[in-house]
Structure formats: C-alpha cells, structure tokens
C-alpha cells in the first residue's frame, strides 16, 4: 500500500504567522521592536564613531546593527 499518496503536504506558515512568531519570540526574550528615522547627519555620526562603514550606509540591516551597537555601548555606560 502506498502511504505517500495518503499523506498531506507539509504546509509552511504564512508570512504573517511567521512575523507574529518572531514578534512573540522577541517579547519572551525581553526585546521590543521600534521604528526610528535617522538623518544623514546621524548616519554620518555612526560612520565617524566606527559603528558603520562608509560603504554600508545604504544597507538597512547594517545600519540597524550599527544603531543597536551604539545604543548598547551608550547604555552600558549608564547602567
């Protein structure tokens, strides 16, 4: 008997379900996601502070990592 014909295909979660799962995982780990707007001068400051390479200023994920590193360093000084 062929069991493969009776098996249901594996269903991947929808993009919105995956996004909600990531949101819940962040909350459980104590993280919050916020959106911020940066000026060119602020991005220049991240480059000057060596948080960001000059050639990476247009890469959204690299800018995000630079902002996270900057915030982490600044808060470490006061916490």
Rounded to an integer, the average pLDDT of 66-75 is 96
- Within a domain: residue 70? yes
- Within a domain: residue 55? yes
- Within a domain: residue 27? no
Inter-residue long-range contacts of 65-69, CB under 8 Å, 24+ positions, other chains counted: 67/36, 67/38
- Within a domain: residue 69? yes
Q: pLDDT band for position 77 (50/70/90)?
A: confident
Range of the domain at 61: 35-79
- Within a domain: residue 49? yes
- Within a domain: residue 62? yes
Q: Which two tokens stand for residue 56?
A: 């990476």
- Within a domain: residue 2? no
C-alpha to C-alpha distance for 18 and 74, rounded to whole angstroms = 32
DSSP H helices, 1-79, are 15-28, 40-48, 60-78
The structural domain count of the chain equals: 1
Q: Which two tokens stand for residue 20?
A: 């909600």
- Within a domain: residue 65? yes
What per-residue confidence (pLDDT) applies to 9?
86
Quote the pTM value: 0.70
């Amino acid at each position: 008997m062929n069991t493969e014909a009776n098996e249901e295909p594996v269903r991947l979660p929808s993009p919105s379900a995956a996004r909600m799962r990531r949101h819940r995982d962040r909350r459980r780990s104590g993280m919050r996601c916020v959106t911020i707007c940066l000026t060119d001068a602020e991005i220049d400051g991240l480059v000057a502070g060596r948080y960001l390479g000059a050639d990476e200023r247009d890469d959204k994920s690299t800018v995000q990592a630079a902002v996270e590193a900057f915030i982490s360093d600044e808060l470490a000084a006061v916490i």
